[in-house]
Amino acid sequence: METKHPNKDHLHAFIAKYKRWLMGAAVVLVALALFMQLNQPERSVANFCKVRQQEQEKLASAKGDTYSSAIFPGRNSSNAHDFAVALGQLEKVAPDGVQSDIRTVRLAYEKIDKDPSQLFSAGFGALSAEDNAKTWVAKNCGQ
């Protein structure tokens, strides 16, 4: 003898009643996920150089001279966060050949931003990565 489950019947009724709405919501969610995936910035040399130039121009208005980066020559700021943000933008479009170096340098500036007493340890830890990125930029972006 089969027993009826009121909750199960209620669920079936709910699904039947809102089937179109649920399907529409599922389609919208899939479309949104696809749009977000396709809207990711392309990792390429051209995009990297373009974004680097944009970030270089933003850093031109930074105040102070406490921090600098070989990736953005001639740009200084008293706020390590300025460089962390700029490097974060670069990391989004960085090709494989330079992405890990950009990430390493970004993380160093974030560490310094959170705790300025970490300047020397974070700075020395990122020197090699920054030098690699500087060389890559000179070779690929012509600057």
pLDDT in tens, 13-70: 777 777 777 677 767 766 565 555 556 678 899 999 999 999 999 999 999 989 999 9
pLDDT at residue 16, as a whole number: 77
Q: Are residues 70 and 19 in the same domain?
A: no
pLDDT at residue 87, as a whole number: 97
Q: Are residues 68 and 116 in the same domain?
A: yes
Share of the chain above pLDDT 70, in %: 85
Q: Are residues 50 and 25 in the same domain?
A: no
- Cβ 130 vs Cβ 105: under 8 Å: yes
The answer to whether position 77 is within a domain reads: yes
The answer to whether position 119 is within a domain reads: yes
pLDDT tens per residue across span 11-29: 777 777 777 776 777 677 6
Q: Are residues 131 and 78 in the same domain?
A: yes
Q: Are residues 34 and 49 in the same domain?
A: no
Domain that holds residue 50: 45-141
Whole-model pTM: value is 0.72
- How many domains does the chain divide into? 2
The answer to whether position 19 is within a domain reads: yes
Mean pLDDT of the chain: 86
Residue 95 sits at φ, ψ, to 5 deg, of -70, 165
The burial of 70, by beta-carbon neighbours within 10 Å (0-12 exposed, 13-18 middle, 19 or more buried), is given as middle
Q: Which two tokens stand for residue 66?
A: 């406490």
Query: Which of 129, 36, 35 is closest to 90 using CA atoms?
Result: 129
Q: Are residues 90 and 27 in the same domain?
A: no
* Alpha helices, DSSP H, located in the chain: 6-17, 19-38, 45-59, 80-93, 96-114, 119-141
